Structure 1
Amino acid sequence: MDRNIRSVDDVLGLLDGLFASEADRWTADGASWWDGFYADRSKPVPFFVAKPDENLVSYLDRGLITPGRALDLGCGPGRNALHLASLGFEVDAVDLSPAAIAWAGDRAREAGADIRFHCGDAFALAATELTGPYDLIYDSGCFHHLPPHRRISYRALLDRALAPGGHLALTCFAAGEMGSELSDAAFYRQARLDGGLAYTPESLRWIFSDLTEVELRRMHDEASTSPLFGEPFLWTALFRRDAV
């Protein structure tokens, strides 16, 4: 007879177990799924391109964010981390997948970029390696792969690592375009995430209501010939933590 629940972390771990399938891609157990995904670097996957997100470039061009310390959550092949490093940011980049980190490292060496790469679960690493404070936490497609209960861990990471006056910028699936629109409770009944969760602007504003909204819009559609990455099935959001 197990009576092991005595903390929030214990509850989160119990709920994690409901999504133990390899297809549920957000836990350390899902790293092998992502390794397979990244194994063929020539696959026509939109975000395999060596281009930064158009919204990230826009924030920088308009002076909404300025160089400082940055954390790239779910960095994949490193395209946004490389752009930040090229503009003078001191960058930490983390991903579950060793294959993704290896690819990002290859790109960084080719570019002569100094980026600190971390392989593993960002929530587990937050207390030891990803301590911040960061002026920018950038998330291009990580948030929508988290099960609902891990928003608690996500917000705790922000509380711990985002500097006063710092920014959270993220892209995530837009309801009506991409991702599952099941209720939070329904994910626990079926014990799978269906490839990712869709969000509305109202849900994002509620989840991050302790931050100040700077901009929330759909990502611009960028042509294949563009130097930027952009897909209109994504929301782009920029939030700021109060300086005091």
Structure 2
Amino acid sequence: MGRLITEQEDLLIVLDSLLREPKFFWDDFYRDRKREVPFFTVKPDENLVQYVERNIFKQGNVLELGCGPGRNAIYLSNKGFAVDAVDISKETIQWATERAKKENIDVNFICQNIFELNIQEGSYDIVYDSGCFHHIAPHRRMSYIQLIQRALKFGGYFAITCFSPNSEYGGATISDEEVYRSLSLKGGLGYDESKLRAIFKEFKEIEIRQMREIKPPAETLGLAGFMTAVFQKK
């Protein structure tokens, strides 16, 4: 028997079941560590490094959403930040934990759905997301914004790296209505500057730009086809 919808959360869970990749999908995705996926690297995002070097991000408490194998969390911890890094895949959390242990880096890795996190209001100076948001369906955007607002201290920063429209890695340009007609995110939605500005209008915009393409053997990851943005909680 299916779920009886009597509350808003019931509706969100039903829609999740139609559109979100299940946990085992991400476990399978991360199980093959030799797969040629750019963000399987140990290098941090070039924009994240810029935020730290430009002193936009000062040492404090960080929540990373969709941390993957831990590259950004490990970088931030190495720079003196206290990091809670969350991902739904136990495979990638295990991988990230192994990486941090190898480098003797202390990160609190958490295997959980980000919408089930129990966060005390104003716990974090920074919320960072590299590659999670573009896999979130439109009906969860408000939940996502509420999560960020609850997590951040007043004046705290939220930064995101996501697919730009029609990039070689993803970035579907279908409308929100078409997401539900097709019951698919087409591998991840694409966001341009205007969409990011509209979605995160409750925050003060600091910077929105294309990710800079960084050629090997540089120590940061920069890929054409991604948007980056950083906002501040008003």
Which TM-score band applies after superposition, normalised by the shorter structure? over 0.9
Map of 2:4 onto structure 1: 4
Map of 1:180 onto structure 2: 172
| Aligned 8 A contact 2:69 2:96 in 1 | yes
CA distance in 1 between counterparts of 2:161 and 2:101 reads 26
| Residues 7-156 of structure 1 mapped to structure 2, 5 A cutoff | 7-19=7-19, 24-25=20-21, 30-125=22-117, 127=118, 133-156=123-146
CA distance in 2 between counterparts of 1:220 and 1:171 reads 11
Match of 1:165 among 140, 149, 155: 155
Equivalent position SS for 2:55: coil
Shift of 1:2: 7.9
Equivalent position SS for 1:137: strand
Letter in 2 for 1:143: F
Shift in alpha-carbon separation, 1:153–1:223, aligned structure 2, 3 A: same
CA distance in 2 between counterparts of 1:2 and 1:110 reads 45
Shift of 1:39: 1.4
CA distance in 1 between counterparts of 2:203 and 2:196 reads 11
Shift of 1:196: 0.3
| Aligned 8 A contact 2:3 2:14 in 1 | no
Map of 2:208 onto structure 1: 216
- Which ranges of structure 2 fall in alignment gaps of 5 or more residues? none
Shift of 1:131: 5.8
Moved beyond 6 Å, runs of 4+:
none
Equivalent position SS for 1:58: helix
CA distance in 2 between counterparts of 1:4 and 1:78 reads 38
For residues 9-29 of structure 1, what are the alpha-carbon distances to aligned partners after superposition, in whole Å with 9 as ceiling and x for unaligned? 12212222322xxxx42xxxx
Equivalent position SS for 1:197: coil
CA distance in 2 between counterparts of 1:145 and 1:135 reads 24
CA distance in 2 between counterparts of 1:190 and 1:181 reads 13
CA distance in 2 between counterparts of 1:12 and 1:33 reads 20
TM-score (norm 2): 0.94
User: Identical aligned pairs, as a percentage?
Assistant: 46
Shift of 1:44: 1.7
Equivalent position SS for 2:105: coil
Shift in alpha-carbon separation, 1:3–1:229, aligned structure 2, 3 A: closer
Equivalent position SS for 1:212: strand
- Which ranges of structure 1 fall in alignment gaps of 5 or more residues? none
> Which range moves more in the overlay, 108-117 or 32-41?
32-41
Map of 1:227 onto structure 2: 219
CA distance in 1 between counterparts of 2:41 and 2:155 reads 31
Map of 2:190 onto structure 1: 198
| Aligned 8 A contact 2:3 2:10 in 1 | no
How many residues are matched? Answer: 232
